[in-house]
Structure 1
Amino acid sequence: MKRALILLALAASAGAHAQKFEGLAATPQMGWNSWNSFACDINEQLIRDTADAMVKLGLKDAGYEYVNIDDCWHGKRDQDGVIHPNAERFPSGMKALADYVHSKGLKLGIYSDVGATTCGGHPGSRGHEYQDAITYARWGVDYVKYDWCDSKGLSAVGAYTTMRDAIRSAGRPMLFSMCEWGDNKPWEWAKDIGHSWRTTGDIYPCWDCELNHDSFARYGVMRILDKQAGLRKYAGPGHWNDMDMLEVGMGMTEDEDRAHFALWAMLASPLILGNDLRSMPEATRRILSNRDVIAINQDKLGIPAWKFLSTGQLEYWAKPMADGEWAVAVLNRGEQPASLNYDWKAHFVSDDVSKREIDFKKAVYNWREVWSGKSGDTSRKLEAKVAPHSVLLLRLKARG
């Protein structure tokens, strides 16, 4: 007990001037999280099998690296306050599980909460922040998702800063994913605290709906997209707006899944899979492993897209990219197919954030549509029919 108290005192002292670990999340983090498909029904075999599937299905090679355990892994704290995993669900312990995930060339993430209890009613980290961070470091954890349940009376800035300092003092680089739901506008203050912060409440696998519960709501893809207005200027390498985990493969149509994935990529949100990788249909795997879409998300410039034009049910989004390239998405939000007849030269595209612009009257860009592989250039109108709840996603490169 005395040794534990000494360690905590030293950690608290070391954390007095701590900063988050730099060099993590230079591009939006990519991985998988257990919650969307399994909620509390988790165990170590599921995590091992998911790590195996991530490698076998080519997702690791596509860039996904974190295997994240969400809520309900917890057992109890011992007499010294040290947290232990549920022995029935994780009989080998977290260190052995982390070692297994690492042996696959992947990284392990874990979940906690600012409150005394997590959203699922398990032990949170309040009052044990430094102790928990030390425990996670000893286990070999690489990623900490930190939730906002049981937070009444807490300062969001204070609670998240405390855990950031605890992680830093523990000495192991761990990506700090803040799941504060956007309640306290973390984009305004969290750049130096977390590597990403949630901008909204939880996602729900639907196109444009809102599922209301007694004390919170879950949002469809379009609802979350609309809540990103005005936030892009806060994101960049090492600090991302998190639009929540992906619902691709969770019950929407294939067109909706493609649009969902493309929009998260365009807005530089973390790409955290939420489906069951062990039984993933090939169509879903093709969407999630599309290297061209992932490259747009992982572009080193790190600037999210913005909506530069709306015409009826069509929205036009542009993302400036490194090496003078651009990505352009044409989103059909509506319920009917839409005919597209877009004159590139009629629209001057200018971005206040990146200070980049395109004048298609002066420069011609070659484009390629990343889902179909079709190509063309901006000297001619872009003509296509866009299915409802679907998106065209083009990558543009100026002619030499």
Structure 2
Amino acid sequence: MPIRSALLAGLALAAALAAPARAAPDPLAPTGRIDAPPAAASPTPPMGWNPWNAFRTDVDEAKIRSSAEALVRTGLAAKGYRFVNIDDGWVLRRLADGRLQIRTSMFPSAATAPAATGSFRPFVGYIHRLGLKAGLYTDIGRNTCAQRWDNNKSPNHPIGSVAEREVGSYGHAAADMRTIFADWGFDYIKIDACGVADYGADSPVVRDGSYRAFPPLIRRGDVPGSDPAEVERLYADLGAAIRRWGGPNAVYSICDWGEADAAAWAPRHGNLWRTSPDIEFSWASMLANMDSALDGALYAGPGHWNDPDMLAIGHAPFDAAHLTEARAHFTMWAIMAAPLLLGFDLRHAPPALLDLVGNAEVIAVDQDAAGNQGVPYRSGATLAVVKRLAAPGARAVALLNRSDRPALARVDWRQLGLAPGSTARVRDLWARRDRTPARDAIALRLPPHGAALLRVTGRPAPGSDAYLDAMPARVTVAADGLSRQTALPLGRFAARIGMTPDDAPLPPGPDGAAHGIGLFANSRLALRAEGGFGRFVATPLVRPGGGAVTFRIYADRRLVAERRIAPGAPAPALEAAIGGAKVVELVAAADAPGDGRPPMVGWVGARLLR
């Protein structure tokens, strides 16, 4: 190095060492904004088709094109199934200059300029001409999931040297996203995480020399042993590149299976984020994946959706011979506002399954413009899930029998937020007919694994539509109060409607229902008020077992109310004039944060008033 360059480098290093370290942002400081992906990319949950469950990597362009054509021919595209997504297996190798080479034996239309890499432009153009959108797959690590888990089964692994077979986007985020979105024209990207989870030194495919070791950033089922901050950084970098090259309408699917404390950060970056391991073709797996997202209503809304994985419909026990289970599966994904991604061979789809996944009234529940995810009410083996719809006085209700025996499932007017003693119209969405009007409650006897999906329209109870329970899509969990050491296990959410994170119900309101939000102290909630409300009211609660907590309310970053509450002490309602604020933020700050789990708190009866 020349002397002058060395001197300048030394001065720069000395200055960097002397400069004070940049402090990490205070997670409790109000920002006056909602940190979530652009709602324009997915104002409602994405719908479409993915070949993985049908073909894994044994797929080719002809299968995908004919499946896209089937979406149009069957009318499913007109009902919202618009995305046609390529999954793992499409990359042949990574060239020495860092570019990705397409497997043209799988996609012959890609054998075009530039000759070294090929181009997906012809394929994407064909999908677009059908009126559909196209999606692609990669991984945040060096390698993909099929390279690890389908190592001896896949016909379409990358080829070449160890370096050439590193086709994941680690170290190539900006270049890969530019290629995929700007050069090839894709509309959607699914980004897996096996590359940072399954290539440790003890992995069989590392031990045999097939791939380089990558110290795991995700240890499955072990948040303390994982590195959530680094996993978030990698996904955030990819997200920034996606927005740069794909624009605000590009859809970003985060697939880290709910690991690495994903609930705390993934909704800030992805338009959909996996809450579970891959779905398997069994009733137990469907229930487990459902449970992974069921309590996450405060983490979903326009632009960011909980994703319990693709639909297993079309595969036993959710095929045409098991329509009861298939309807139950589809019912629960619809009521949870989950993405609806089909994964069976549409070229040979039985009419009964096409009718099931094409039920426009059920799809409308999933795609409702309010963007609320349903709120669950459990009772033994049965489950009622209530979703507030955009139409005044309209609610969707899913009733599910999880068990192998017939069971009576029930929902009442308190859970629905309807006026006591009032009569409501009831529409059976699977039967496509109106039922007898109901009063005060609805009870249905369900067969084993049975489900019902109803649209109930009635007179709201006074004030019921003002509770945050009724508008979870307006809530963003900006800080959840947990650390890497105290994170909750998979499928558990720090912020819950009507209860604290340990399932203890909040105190009931005047109607006998437990309204409000329970979570941990050292937390911040951001409410998308959009200037439509004048007051916020809630009663602060600190559960015994911790120190005092200070509750603060901000309206567009302006402190409008504050109160310190001792654990277990009764507290009067905290009311704040929010003056038509666009963003209202609720902060609960513990006196002594410490290293342990912060105390549990509640914003009891939390409501936005006009």
Q: What's the TM-score once normalised by structure 2's chain length?
A: 0.57
Give the one of 347, 351, 354 matched to 1:282.
351
Answering whether residue 365 of structure 2 is matched by residue 320 of structure 1, we say no
Answering whether residue 430 of structure 2 is matched by residue 371 of structure 1, we say yes
Deviation at residue 359 of structure 1 after TM alignment: 3.2
Whether the 8 Å CA contact 1:21–1:175 is kept in 2: the answer is: no
Whether the 8 Å CA contact 1:332–1:338 is kept in 2: the answer is: yes
Deviation at residue 328 of structure 1 after TM alignment: 0.8
The within-5 A match list for 1:74-113 is 74-93=91-110, 94-113=120-139
| Corresponding residue of 1:248 | 313
**Whole-angstrom distance in 2 between the partners of 1:263 and 1:283:** 19
The within-5 A match list for 1:163-242 is 163-172=238-247, 173-208=249-284, 220-242=285-307
List per-residue Cα deviations over 1:201-231 (Å, max 9, x = no partner).
11011111xxxxxxxxxxx111112222432
Give the one of 10, 27, 52 matched to 1:35.
52
Partner AA of 1:146 in structure 2: I
**Whole-angstrom distance in 2 between the partners of 1:135 and 1:75:** 15
Whether the 8 Å CA contact 2:232–2:265 is kept in 1: the answer is: yes
Partner AA of 1:205 in structure 2: F
**Whole-angstrom distance in 2 between the partners of 1:20 and 1:133:** 17
Deviation at residue 161 of structure 1 after TM alignment: 0.6
| Corresponding residue of 1:271 | 340
Report the more deviating stretch, 64-73 or 316-325: 316-325
Whether the 8 Å CA contact 2:382–2:408 is kept in 1: the answer is: no
| Corresponding residue of 2:451 | 391
| Structure 2: gaps (5+ residues) | 1-34, 111-119, 148-157, 159-166, 197-215, 218-226, 461-610
Deviation at residue 309 of structure 1 after TM alignment: 4.1
Partner AA of 1:106 in structure 2: L
Whether the 8 Å CA contact 2:423–2:440 is kept in 1: the answer is: no
**Whole-angstrom distance in 1 between the partners of 2:231 and 2:323:** 38
Deviation at residue 339 of structure 1 after TM alignment: 4.5
| Corresponding residue of 1:353 | none
Whether the 8 Å CA contact 1:21–1:168 is kept in 2: the answer is: no
Whether the 8 Å CA contact 1:76–1:85 is kept in 2: the answer is: yes
List per-residue Cα deviations over 1:8-51 (Å, max 9, x = no partner).
xxxxxxxxxx9955411101000111111110111111111011
Answering whether residue 414 of structure 2 is matched by residue 348 of structure 1, we say yes
Q: How many equivalent pairs are there? A: 361
**Whole-angstrom distance in 2 between the partners of 1:41 and 1:127:** 28
Partner AA of 2:121 in structure 1: K
Partner AA of 1:318 in structure 2: V
Partner AA of 2:74 in structure 1: L
| Corresponding residue of 1:60 | 77
Whether the 8 Å CA contact 2:420–2:440 is kept in 1: the answer is: no
Deviation at residue 381 of structure 1 after TM alignment: 5.9
The within-5 A match list for 1:278-317 is 278-310=347-379, 312-317=380-385
The within-5 A match list for 1:325-340 is 325-339=394-408
The 1:230/1:379 distance shift into structure 2, 3 A limit, reads: closer
| Structure 1: gaps (5+ residues) | 1-17, 209-219, 351-356
Partner AA of 1:313 in structure 2: A
**Whole-angstrom distance in 2 between the partners of 1:226 and 1:191:** 18
Partner of 1:294, secondary structure, is: helix
**Whole-angstrom distance in 1 between the partners of 2:294 and 2:450:** 20
| Corresponding residue of 1:140 | 185
Partner AA of 2:428 in structure 1: E
Whether the 8 Å CA contact 2:46–2:339 is kept in 1: the answer is: yes
Partner of 2:233, secondary structure, is: helix
Tell which structure's C-alpha radius of gyration is larger: 2
Q: What's the TM-score once normalised by structure 1's chain length?
A: 0.86
Higher relative contact order (CA 8 A, sep 6+): 1
Partner AA of 1:62 in structure 2: K
List per-residue Cα deviations over 1:173-210 (Å, max 9, x = no partner).
420000011102322212331101000111011111xx
Whether the 8 Å CA contact 1:349–1:359 is kept in 2: the answer is: no
The 1:270/1:97 distance shift into structure 2, 3 A limit, reads: same
**Whole-angstrom distance in 2 between the partners of 1:232 and 1:73:** 35
List per-residue Cα deviations over 1:302-344 (Å, max 9, x = no partner).
111122241x43221111111231011111111122345x584
Let me know the Cα RMSD of the aligned residues.
Answer: 2.0
List per-residue Cα deviations over 1:242-291 (Å, max 9, x = no partner).
01000011111211110000100000110111111111111111110000
Deviation at residue 399 of structure 1 after TM alignment: 6.3
Partner AA of 1:367 in structure 2: V
Deviation at residue 382 of structure 1 after TM alignment: 3.8
Whether the 8 Å CA contact 1:107–1:141 is kept in 2: the answer is: yes
Whether the 8 Å CA contact 1:71–1:111 is kept in 2: the answer is: yes
| Corresponding residue of 2:596 | none
| Corresponding residue of 2:88 | 71
Deviation at residue 380 of structure 1 after TM alignment: 7.5
Whether the 8 Å CA contact 2:41–2:251 is kept in 1: the answer is: yes
**Whole-angstrom distance in 2 between the partners of 1:331 and 1:199:** 20
Partner of 1:120, secondary structure, is: helix
Kindly, what percent of the aligned residue pairs are identical?
A: 37
Whether the 8 Å CA contact 2:46–2:341 is kept in 1: the answer is: yes
Runs of 4+ in 1 over 6 A off after TM superposition: none
Give the one of 173, 180, 186 matched to 1:129.
173
| Corresponding residue of 2:330 | 261
